[in-house]
Amino acid sequence: MTFQWPLCLIALGIIPLLTWLYLAAQKRRRAYAVRFTNLALLKRVAGKRPGMRRHIPPLIFVFALIALIIGMARPMAVITLPLDRANVILVFDVSGSMGSTDMAPSRIMAARQAAHLFVNALPASVQIGVVSFNNEAVVRAPLTSDHGLIQRSIDTLLPGGGTAIGDGLNAALDQLQQQAKDNNGNSIPATIVLLSDGANNAGSDPMQAALHARQQHIKVNTVGMGLRNTLPANEGRPSSRVDEATMKAIASQTGGRYFYAGATKTLRQIYTDLSTQISWMTETIEISALLSAIGVVLFLLAGCLSLRWFQRFP
């Protein structure tokens, strides 16, 4: 929680002072009562003592005052809200190495299964598109709210050819640009989820595509799968090994995250987590009115209890 007027919180210093004054008043009251020499008579006249109940209204009064002071400081809270609408493009590497069977039953089948879970987890209001790439990029399904069509397009993904990551990203950006705003002219939140198991060896520069995504305020989450290799791409690394350096750089450039999946179960979990992140958004709102309302209610509650029990205001 943050505050727009934090200096108002200095007023909270009055709380310890009020507490001290209240305790001092209670101490004086007890000292005055002891002055009566006939304690038995005092007990009959005073009736049953309220005990701890006498402290409840003042305690509620203090909480009310705290709520009002914090409300004066204009607190800002970060809350999570479901997205009414969002655009998501799934970008798949379908190069020949995606046919490898080091992930059960194969890399491409593991990717398809994870993508199905992803689509199932998204709200119906989210529009999804599918792009695949090997030597070139292909739009398998344009942005649509027909999730059944998306599921069927995912099932058409088959491995073969090279790896043109940049072309895949550019094709996804073109799709998002076509539906960047809603009917009221408001920008629609857009995300790309890019999966690859190799290094770029065809087409345009992936980092240039990532720069375009950043300029369009589109986040790219990247997923690497298959074999890992820490060697730079220009040192003879086999194309079947994921270029994690490039995948991390793409995510970092666009404000997204990089995930590595070395097993089918891990890949499914990654896509499930991503669907949750995409379906919700964080928003900072001012909660001064809420705290002020709580303070007023507590004030009224303290007054009502005091009048009901002791026929006086605290």
C-alpha 240/C-alpha 133 separation (Å) is 15
The string of pLDDT tens digits covering residues 13-30 is 888 888 888 778 777 766
| The token pair that represents 156 in the structure block | 């058409």
The string of pLDDT tens digits covering residues 153-190 is 999 999 998 889 999 999 999 999 888 777 777 777 88
- Length reported for the chain: 314
C-alpha 199/C-alpha 233 separation (Å) is 7
108 within 8 A of 99, measured Cβ to Cβ = yes
Q: Which domains does the chain have, with CATH numbers?
A: 2-78+285-310 (no CATH), 83-262 (3.40.50.410)
> What residues contact residue 147 under an 8 Å CB cut-off, 6+ apart?
119, 120, 122, 124, 128
Residue 297 in this model has a pLDDT that exceeds 80 = yes
- The alpha helices in 100-205, defined as continuous H runs, are 107-121, 147-154, 165-178
Nearest to 134 by CA among 61, 200, 66, 213: 200
Residue 203 binned pLDDT confidence (cut-offs 50, 70, 90): confident
Question: Residue 115: its pLDDT value, please?
Answer: 92
Strand order of the sheet with strand 75-82? 2-3, 75-82, 280-286
Question: Residue 51: its pLDDT value, please?
Answer: 60
72 in the Ramachandran plot: left (φ > 0), alpha (ψ -120 to 50) or beta? alpha
137 within 8 A of 168, measured Cβ to Cβ = yes
The string of pLDDT tens digits covering residues 70-111 is 988 888 887 655 556 788 999 999 999 888 888 888 899 999
| The token pair that represents 61 in the structure block | 């009064």
The string of pLDDT tens digits covering residues 38-54 is 555 555 555 555 567 77
141 within 8 A of 153, measured Cβ to Cβ = yes
Residue 221 binned pLDDT confidence (cut-offs 50, 70, 90): very high
Question: Residue 193: its pLDDT value, please?
Answer: 92
106 within 8 A of 42, measured Cβ to Cβ = no
Distance of CA 240 to the CA centre of its chain: 34
C-alpha 106/C-alpha 253 separation (Å) is 30
The model's pTM is 0.64
| The token pair that represents 166 in the structure block | 């940049």
Question: Residue 92: its pLDDT value, please?
Answer: 94
Question: Residue 146: its pLDDT value, please?
Answer: 93
272 within 8 A of 118, measured Cβ to Cβ = yes
Q: What is the rounded average pLDDT of the residues 62-74?
A: 89
Question: Residue 101: its pLDDT value, please?
Answer: 84
83 within 8 A of 189, measured Cβ to Cβ = yes
Question: Residue 154: its pLDDT value, please?
Answer: 94
Question: Residue 211: its pLDDT value, please?
Answer: 93
The DSSP output letter for 255 is T
The string of pLDDT tens digits covering residues 224-270 is 887 765 444 444 434 467 888 889 999 999 988 999 888 788 888 88
Question: Residue 238: its pLDDT value, please?
Answer: 41
Nearest to 118 by CA among 280, 279, 282: 279
